[in-house]
Amino acid sequence: GDKGYDADWFRTALAKRGIVACIPSKANRNLPIPHDTLLYKSRHKIENMFGRLKDWRRIHTRYDRCAHTFMSAICIAATVIFWL
């Protein structure tokens, strides 16, 4: 998550589930908690990819009722985004 998810209760809930948090600390935290910067950069790239896919209105509003057709629209949009 991003800095908006930097809360102690959220970090403990993730730890109880066995999930290692990769959340950068907020600027107002007294003792900054270290995080893996390389993992955070790759997460950011994936988040940007989903943002670009949602620029397509058909995908954002999910016009297609059939899951197969929706997946086809995602593949077409991803192909066009890749080539642009």
pLDDT in tens, 14-56: 999 999 888 888 988 889 988 888 988 888 888 888 888 888 8
The answer on 21 and 55 residing in a single domain is no
Q: What pLDDT is attached to residue 17?
A: 96
27 inside domain: yes
The answer on 53 and 31 residing in a single domain is no
Identify the sign of the CA torsion 53, 56, 59, 62: positive
| pLDDT band per the 50, 70, 90 thresholds, residue 1 | low
The answer on 79 and 50 residing in a single domain is yes
The answer on 54 and 31 residing in a single domain is no
- Cα atoms in the 13 Å half-sphere on the side-chain side of 24: 11
Measure CA of the first residue to CA of the last residue in the chain; give whole Å: 28
Rounded Cα–Cα distance for residues 57 and 70 (Å)? 12
40 inside domain: no
Domain that residue 77 falls in: 45-84
Q: What pLDDT is attached to residue 37?
A: 87
pTM reported for the whole predicted model = 0.57
Q: At 36, phi and psi to the nearest 5?
A: -80, 110
The answer on 52 and 20 residing in a single domain is no
User: Structurally, how many domains does the chain consist of?
Assistant: 2
25 inside domain: yes
61 inside domain: yes
| pLDDT band per the 50, 70, 90 thresholds, residue 70 | confident
